[in-house]
Structure 1
Amino acid sequence: MGKFNWGTHKITDSEVFLAGYDTFNDLISAQKYCTKIAKSNYENFIISNWFTPKEIKQHIQNIYAFCRYGDDLGDDSPFPPNERLKLLNEWMEDLERAFKSENNPWQGEPRHPILRAVSHTADIFKIPITPFKRLIEAFKLDQQKTRYSNYQELKNYCIHSADPVGHLFLYIYGYKDEELQKISDNTCTALQLANHWQDVNRDLEQDRIYMPIEEMERFNYSLEDYKKKIVNDEWRALMRFQVERARELFENGKNLWEKVDPRLVVDLRMFTMGGMAVLDAIEAQGYDTWSKRPKISKLKQLRMLMASRKLWKEAHKKGKGIR
């Protein structure tokens, strides 16, 4: 991810002060701040892109800023895990200040400008606090849990780290149906898994192993092999299994495409194309994700962009409008 200068977080015995607190105190400046965050990482930011309807682009940027900030607290802040937890607990407290109460949702007074902007978005689209809390819980989980015994544990992580993003998109497009959320979860979980298998090196540098230990044992690939980054037939078989499972999830997620606004489908198809391209890249290098991080080629990125542009034109011809 591109770096954004958030400022300085401070932790003392009596206070946790998050970078950005008590700045940009009106909605207009808070939203401009969120836009700046989004544009600072624009090359990776396929969420708020050329294809997002103008009437919701700011709201998508507000959500993106929330995710980026939490990611910084959990992964990039210069503190050990126990102190990162304090930062994330404070972020959760400010979220709850913003939400205020079930009887008066999103009418509170957060200290952080991102949450001021998010409150505005959540209030307009009647978004509950749950998806936001789950995302923060995922960042907290990364400070506390570095091994996953089985796939169910990893799936539970994805329920917090990935699936809420899909729910937020659906809310912004006007969909509150739990059945649609469940279908969306396939795509979001698949994206998270593709990211994990692409980034085994980066995650191991932080002593994080997302590969389910039970499945490693099933393929006769030991934890010691993993730490030594050994590439053998067992590793290739294990990674092939993970790639195929993620592909199946992407296929299941396609069931959402015929059920929602065609303009949202453009985003969904972009997510799917991007994730599938990562899986293809893993396969193309013989499932060896240790020697080199799998990347999507510039040519493939261009083809995806052109395909998305065509989809966008078609979507706007039959667009339903935001519900």
Structure 2
Amino acid sequence: MNPDQYTQEKGAPLGSSAYYALLRARASQRRGLTALFALRRELEETVEQTSDTAVGSAKLAWWQRELRTIDAGQPTHPVAIELRSQLDTANIGSTVEAFFEIADGFAMDLSQARYLDLPGLQQYVRKVGGAFSAVLAQQAKDGDGDKEWAFNAGVALMFAEIVRDIGDDARRGRIYIPISEMQQFNVTAADIINRRYSDNFTAMMKFQLERARTGLRDALSSASRATLKRQPVLRAQIAIALALLDEVEGEQYQVLHQRIALTPVRKLWVAFRATRFGI
């Protein structure tokens, strides 16, 4: 499998939200942006697919070495090769540095499965969500000025992902809702892991969903028309995430036993409508 094909299947498989968001990018930028999604996915899988901290740490260390080869011009992994070939040489150094921060974020998954409070969780969300979206924004022409906006948008997107994935994450032994907020709503880790729904759980999830939704809406309202035009991928991601949150709300927050998702056709339409008509 050549690097282009491998990267496409890893970063934006057919039917995924990333796939439909990336369709809104300029054709000349699509392969490079797809490689960024693929690299983030590779880092995520290093901790997602192992229960052994030592193995996960070794895999992340390997990727950190591979990141240095991207900048040096001698990568070996298909995703790294594709990234090196597609990105503007002038941006590679800053892109690599950003991915070191993203890797540090995923490394947090190897050392903790719970977060005491919101500030602790925000450290994780900023690294794996905010830093990644800032990298995406940087790849757009004249996009450096959008990095702060994109960072905040990425944080909101990550909070939306936490809402969607709470059941899947619990099955891997991780809960990304702060302990302080679980205590506030009288919900225990055992309730989540054992898929026990209750009025308290519903109230807690409504709180989590509204935080994500407010963050996404704030990102849209704070962006200039020029920024939204330069950043169609992030604009599409925000639209898809908002539609997904509506779906979760409509399903009464039943996210423990299932992964609620939009159909591919709906993702396609939401992404198209958002970037074409600004809705």
TM-score (norm 2): 0.86
Q: For 1:288, what is the secondary structure of its paired residue?
A: coil
**Residues 249-268 of structure 1 mapped to structure 2, 5 A cutoff:** 249-254=215-220, 255-260=222-227, 262-264=229-231, 266-268=232-234
| Deviating more after overlay: 198-207 vs 106-115 | 106-115
Kept after mapping to 2: 8 A contact 1:183/1:256: yes
User: 1:278 is matched by which residue type in structure 2?
Assistant: L
Distance in 2 (alpha carbons) for counterparts of 1:188 and 1:163: 4
Match of 1:116 among 68, 77, 81: 81
Q: Which residue of 1 aligns with 2:119?
A: 152
Distance in 2 (alpha carbons) for counterparts of 1:260 and 1:62: 22
Q: Which residue of 1 aligns with 2:72?
A: 107
Kept after mapping to 1: 8 A contact 2:101/2:131: yes
Distance in 2 (alpha carbons) for counterparts of 1:228 and 1:126: 44
Match of 2:27 among 32, 51, 54: 54
Distance in 2 (alpha carbons) for counterparts of 1:37 and 1:202: 19
**Residues 170-319 of structure 1 mapped to structure 2, 5 A cutoff:** 170-173=137-140, 174-177=142-145, 180-254=146-220, 255-260=222-227, 262-264=229-231, 266-297=232-263, 300-301=266-267, 303-308=269-274, 310-311=276-277
Distance in 2 (alpha carbons) for counterparts of 1:252 and 1:114: 33
Distance in 1 (alpha carbons) for counterparts of 2:100 and 2:8: 22
Q: Which residue of 1 aligns with 2:62?
A: 90
Distance in 1 (alpha carbons) for counterparts of 2:271 and 2:228: 20
Q: For 2:72, what is the secondary structure of its paired residue?
A: coil
- Structure 2 residue 81 is the aligned partner of structure 1 residue 81: no
Kept after mapping to 2: 8 A contact 1:191/1:275: yes
Cα deviation code 1:57-83 (max 9, x no counterpart): 121122122122222322236x62321
Distance in 1 (alpha carbons) for counterparts of 2:177 and 2:58: 27
Deviation at 1:263, TM superposition (A): 4.6
Cα deviation code 1:109-144 (max 9, x no counterpart): 233232233234152435513211122122222122
Kept after mapping to 2: 8 A contact 1:48/1:57: no
Q: Which residue of 2 aligns with 1:9?
A: none
Q: How many residues align?
A: 273
Distance in 2 (alpha carbons) for counterparts of 1:214 and 1:228: 20
Deviation at 1:271, TM superposition (A): 1.0
Match of 2:40 among 62, 67, 81: 67
Q: For 1:294, what is the secondary structure of its paired residue?
A: coil
Kept after mapping to 1: 8 A contact 2:166/2:175: yes
Kept after mapping to 1: 8 A contact 2:133/2:234: no
Kept after mapping to 1: 8 A contact 2:247/2:260: yes
Deviation at 1:89, TM superposition (A): 0.8
Unpaired segments ≥5 residues, structure 2: none
- Give the direction of change, closer, same or farther, for the CA distance of 1:38–1:227 in structure 2 (3 Å limit): closer
Larger Rg, first or second structure (1 or 2): 1
Deviation at 1:199, TM superposition (A): 1.5
Unpaired segments ≥5 residues, structure 1: 1-23, 99-105, 313-323
Kept after mapping to 1: 8 A contact 2:239/2:271: no
- Structure 2 residue 134 is the aligned partner of structure 1 residue 161: no
- Bigger relative CO (Cα 8 Å, ≥ 6 apart): 2
